[in-house]
A and B are shown apart, each in its own frame.
Chain A
Amino acid sequence: DQQVKQNSPSLSVQEGRISILNCDYTNSMFDYFLWYKKYPAEGPTFLISISSIKDKNEDGRFTVFLNKSAKHLSLHIVPSQPGDSAVYFCAATSQGTASKLTFGTGTRLQVTL
């Protein structure tokens, strides 16, 4: 049972344009969400997070939007840069737990020149 889903395995975007990565979840107990970026041969790197009491969080070029009623979140990268090319994982957790993160299967972003 995949509780966190990233339905797009890959995405290609031109440099300078907006990248939008999507994530859906099914578990209503999830109340904290994170995005991680992973380069080959490296561990995932924390990017940005959002609590369920908010619907938007910004950090520089990265913005995460949360739609609780739709159980959907998205990561916007503006403007996209070639160095953003990586696999992006959405993760979710319930703040009452031992910070167990449940990950999606990832979306491979390719930013082209």
Chain B
Amino acid sequence: ETGVTQSPTHLIKTRGQQVTLRCSSQSGHNTVSWYQQALGQGPQFIFQYYREEENGRGNFPPRFSGLQFPNYSSELNVNALELDDSALYLCASSHRDRKYEQYFGPGTRLTVT
């Protein structure tokens, strides 16, 4: 059984640029959620996708957007990067029937300079 994978591992971007982060769900999981974890904080919910549609969103501005593909992989896009976007971005997958037990990938460390 393949776990959740994310790419890239690390990324450095300049303020104002755009970034795309990628996630492959665990085998058999049809729901994907994205979280932002700032230093010293717990993960904060960005949004969730199920059947390729957004299925819930946290308190993040519209410049954070996402996609889910038919194979349940997912992308997180962030436009107009700000310094405060520097964080660890975590992807989590789950099965619709056990949606609260989310399985996380190792994360992408984004640094905005």
Contact = CB atoms under 8 A, between A and B. Distances in A.
Contacts of A42: 106
Contacts, number: 62
Contacts of B66: none
Interface residues of A, number: 25
A43 B56 contact: no
Given A44-B90, A89-B42, A106-B42, A101 B100 contact: yes
Contact of B100 (A44, A49, A89, A106): A49
Interface residues of B, number: 27
16 contacts: A32-B100, A34-B101, A36-B104, A43-B90, A46-B101, A46-B102, A49-B101, A98-B55, A98-B56, A100-B33, A100-B58, A101-B35, A101-B100, A101-B102, A103-B43, A105-B40
Given A34-B100, A43-B4, A101-B45, 4 more contacts: A89-B43, A99-B100, A99-B102, A105-B42
Closest 5 CB pairs of A and B: A98-B56, A103-B42, A43-B104, A99-B99, A100-B45
Interface of B: 4, 31, 33, 35, 40-45, 48, 50, 55-56, 58, 90, 92, 94, 99-107
